[in-house]
Chains A and B, each alone.
Chain A
Amino acid sequence: MKYEPKPLFTERMLKLFGGDSEEYERYLKISEIPMRRSVRCNTLKITPEELKIKLERRGWKIEQSFPEAPEVMVVVSGLKPGELGNSIEHMLGYYYVQELSSLMPALALKPAPGDMVLDLAAAPGSKTTQMAAMMKNQGTLIANDKDINRISVLSTNLERCGVTNAIVTRHDGVQLCEKLEKIGIRFDKILLDLPCSGEGNIRSSPKTLLMWNIRMIEKLARLQRKLAVTAVKLLKENGKIIYSTCTHSPEENEANVNFLSREFNLEIEKIVLPVKCRQGVKNWEKEEFSAGIENCCRIYPQDNDTEGFFLARMRRRK
């Protein structure tokens, strides 16, 4: 490993793997292998069949690993640095370079044409553009971020991908939710892809191991809970919310999902995804989580040759 994991990191990951040191070794080993290069066909502009032909003409070998999601393509042939982002097809918005695990939250949320959708931390726009495509540019998508530079990247990506049904807003997430609540805007679907400690990203960002510390996890868990609490209030009856992070720590994941489901009468729904998911942990440290927490989905790099991810889908009961 480029950076050695800290002892507490190792201890916690081992605990998550039920003390299985071989599993932990597999986790570390795959973290040293470069990521597969994947793109998502932007169906607002082109069909997967048409795009595949165009990309194969470039000499790229394309695999569509998920029959239920033909828009997801893995480029299995070697690529020059920057080649994916410098093709004419990319320039025309025919595809979006997107890591496989980051495709999962939108696939789990299933935004449909006509839905009213909120993407609270939207930049750089991978999931926003994916949701707009799933909605066929029909319905409304409010895409928010608080940072002006990130908004600029988000806006560019929305334009490039031909998204016509989005409203881009710039607010702190809590502030935005409070304002939306005040003016009576409610949502069918909410994507809460939250800022996190990034333990799932050590393949693409090994430096995460260097910066990792437990205080950061505790701080982020509090921030995530605060954001989620204000967002949940904007759900319509039967509305659905995805809580997702790119980290493994239960404080940032199951503990918050457990809190939300209990406090706001939310049902944690079972999710079917085209990747291997492990159940949410039922307890962590001294906390026992409620029934339903097993429906949370843990995506580990060694299971799918992806980055690590966590997601839960919750429905607001009547």
Chain B
Amino acid sequence: MKIISKKEKERILNKLKEDYGIGQINGTLLETGKGKIRLFTGNLAQEEVNRIIFNIRTEMIGIYLAKKDENETRISFDSLSLFRNEVSKSVIEISDEDAKIWGNGEEIGTDAQNKNNGFVIIRNNGNLLGCGKIKDGQIKNFVPKERRTNC
């Protein structure tokens, strides 16, 4: 687990703004391997965070915010609803019927085009139901197994 530099943080936040319209995110970003980025909003100085990490068996810090690949940043299912009122780009509105299918972890069909060729955010009745990726008229489902509803 390492604290992400100021420059890299700025790049990630710009990407989230560009792709999803999410504005200011305050806090420290940490990278935990496999491109997973965590957001920690605790009011500790970097030195204090390090003092804890190095001396105390630390299992987790903050929330899993996003996963970054080379050119794409996929915002995590759980942190997405923290930005419910900010998300304004790459949103696909789905029907109640499709929301049930999506909640079960299955792909759904779409006519929408993916302008950014990246991830889209799925929305139903004002609820943000995670990220998906459009390919060949289908939206690939990224809802984590433990968050599926099985309805």
Contact = CB atoms under 8 A, between A and B. Distances in A.
Interface in A139-168: 139-142, 151, 155-156, 158-160, 162-168
A205 B147 CA distance: 27
Interface of B is mostly: mixed
Given A44-B82, A164-B39, A171 B56 contact: yes
Given A164-B40, A166-B62, A156 B146 contact: yes
B150 A159 contact: no
Interface string B127-151: 1110000000000000000111111
A168 B58 contact: yes
Interface stretch (A177-185, A189-197, A273-281, A290-298): A177-185
A140 to B, nearest CB: 4
Interface string A28-45: 000000000000000011
B149 A162 contact: no
Given A159-B78, A171-B56, A185-B52, A140 B63 contact: no
Chain A contact-residue range equals 35 or more
Contact of B63 (A141, A151, A164, A176): A164
Interface of A is mostly: mixed
A93 interface: yes
B60 A167 contact: yes
Nearest to B63: A164
Nearest to A50: B126
A94 B147 CA distance: 13
A131 B136 CA distance: 45
A88 interface: yes
A86 B149 contact: yes
Contacts of A140: 42-44
Contact of B42 (A87, A139, A159, A182): A139
A169 interface: yes
Contacts of A171: 56-57
Contacts of A93: 78, 81
Contact of B62 (A87, A94, A156, A165): A165
B58 A167 contact: yes
B69 interface: no
B35 interface: no
A122 B148 CA distance: 25
A163 B81 CA distance: 11
Closest 9 CB pairs of A and B: A140-B42, A168-B60, A164-B41, A168-B59, A159-B78, A162-B82, A165-B42, A165-B41, A164-B63
Interface of B: 27, 39-44, 48, 51-52, 55-64, 78-79, 81-82, 84, 99, 103, 127-129, 146-151
5 contacts: A44-B82, A163-B63, A164-B63, A169-B58, A171-B56
